[in-house]
Amino acid sequence: MLELALPNAHALAVMILIAVALVLFARDDIPLETTSLVVIVLLTVGFQLFPFEMDGRSVNPSEFFLGFGNRALIAVCAL
């Protein structure tokens, strides 16, 4: 039988942050921009304090921002 394994601590933290962000996005008294900024700051600070290692290499928190310069993302946002 196939055993299900729990995700690691980083994945659990990101899933909880997504759930909290969805709740905050649904509230009318908190601006969307504030919620978005808080999520980005929490991701950056969280991965700075608790680095994620993959294949023996630590993922730098500044790498989160590298995807924002992608042409595909800009094209989708322009739609």
**Who's near 43: CB < 8 A, 6+ residues apart?**
14, 17, 61, 64
- Which tens digits make up the pLDDT trace of 18-43? 999 999 999 989 998 899 889 988 98
Amino acid 18: pLDDT: 94
| pLDDT (mean) for 7-23 | 92
Q: Which amino acid is at 11?
A: A
Instruction: Select from 73, 74, 51 the least CA-distant residue to 63.
Output: 51
Task: Please tell me which residue, 49 or 61, carries the higher pLDDT value.
Answer: 49
Residue 68 to residues 11, 51, 60, 62, Cα–Cα distance (Å): 21, 21, 15, 11
Q: What is the pTM of this model?
A: 0.74
